[in-house]
Amino acid sequence: MKAAKAADIERAAELFHALADATRLRIVERLRDGEQCVCDLTGALDTGQSRLSFHLRTLKDAGILRDRRQGRWVYYALNPDVMEEMAEVLGSIRGA
């Protein structure tokens, strides 16, 4: 188990911060089953459009989500790469 570099720590903090909010966790939970457009999420999460957009951006900026425009709709999905990254981060936090 190697020591974490400063950049790793900053990155881990960024990831954790993005997940440190109940609304964002609900978004992630909903996306486990696959891509959804913002309109679906708005209905499912019962939240204002602006608020939802803010949290989606927070997750996207952290690399947790990716988005894809299709016609009038934008679809969000979990980024598989970051899931692996999370697992690594968790491993490095876990005690020996």
Partner DNA sequence: ACGATACATCAACGATTCTTGATCTGTCAA
Partner DNA sequence: TTGACAGATCAAGAATCGTTGATGTATCGT
Q: Which residues, 6+ apart, have CB-to-CB distance to 63 below 8 Å?
A: 15, 79, 81, 82, 85
Task: Give yes or no for residue 4 binding a copy of itself (CB under 8 A).
Answer: yes
Q: From the list a copy of itself, DNA, none, pick the one residue 19 interacts with, judged by a Cβ distance below 5 to 8 Å according to partner type.
A: a copy of itself
Q: Which residues bind DNA (CB under 7 A)?
A: 17, 20-21, 23, 37-39, 42, 47-58, 67, 69, 71-74
Task: DSSP for 32-73, please give it.
Answer: TT--EEHHHHHHHHT--HHHHHHHHHHHHHTTSEEEEEETTE
The size of the interface with a copy of itself (CB under 8 A), counted in residues, is 31
Strand, helix or coil for residue 21: coil
Nearest-angstrom CA–CA distance, 84 and 74 = 24
Footprint (CB under 8 A) of a copy of itself, residues 37-96: 78, 80, 83, 86-87, 90, 92-96
The site for a copy of itself (CB under 8 A) is made up of: 1, 3-4, 9-10, 12-13, 16-17, 19-22, 25-26, 28-29, 31-33, 78, 80, 83, 86-87, 90, 92-96
